[in-house]
Amino acid sequence: MAALRAAKQALRKEIKRRVSALSAEEKRRQSVVVSQQLFRHPKYVSCERIAVFLSMDDEVRTEEIIKDVFKRGKSCFIPRYESSSSHMDMLKLNSLQDMETLPLTSWNIQQPAEDDTSREEALASGGLDLILMPGLGFDRLGKRLGRGKGFYDTYLERCIRHPKGKPYTIALAFKEQLCQEIPVDDNDVLIDEILYEDDE
């Protein structure tokens, strides 16, 4: 276990270094390419209930995706992370205006406040069809390197127990986040598909 943790830590550092070398312009450009891939994706087109992360500076931008989700009349859910644990809920976002009023966390991510109990949690109702996954690194086999908190792995386990079953998972990545192979253990849930700008 210690060796795996050390390997993950080293890889996190390396990927962070690669991504931080990207200009804001390049991150925007790749985000547009990845978003366009998503908008044509049959799983995206057909989904009704989708969970989208609100992007941090080192992640593919999701603002345009969220706009598109509302434009197409889908139900949009966003994460609320509990900083003291690895618990995360996916709470309903009612509109783009709703998003603008969300408070900022200490990680500089917008999310519904802890005492905001009026929002529907995805699994308390109809479950999810699709989850867009953030992460630091990915390989082509669907292995994902998170930030080490386990939010998404824990949440996917809850999804699997929901009557609807596990939603399809698509990761959005800069090509600099792709790795030869990500070291994983048994708790790490594999991702169904990774979208990135493929030059090949």
List the domains of the chain with CATH numbers. 2-195 (3.40.50.10420)
Note whether 138 and 182 are within 8 A (CB). Answer: yes
Question: Is 143 annotated among the ligand-binding residues?
Answer: no
Has 37 been labeled as part of a binding site? no
Mean per-residue pLDDT of the chain: 93
Question: Is 148 a known ligand-binding residue?
Answer: yes
pLDDT > 70 fraction of the chain, expressed in percent and rounded: 99
Known binding residue 145? Answer is: yes
173 labelled binding-site residue: no
pLDDT at 200: 58
What distance in Å separates the CA atoms of residue 101 and residue 46, rounded to the nearest whole number? 29
pLDDT tens, position by position, 26-71: 999 999 999 999 999 999 999 999 999 999 999 999 999 999 999 9
Q: Binding residue per annotation — 6? A: no
pTM, two decimals, is 0.94
Predicted pLDDT at 108: 80
Q: Could you tell me which residue, 125 or 188, shows the higher pLDDT? A: 125
- For residue 89, report the phi and psi dihedrals to the nearest 5 degrees: -115, 155
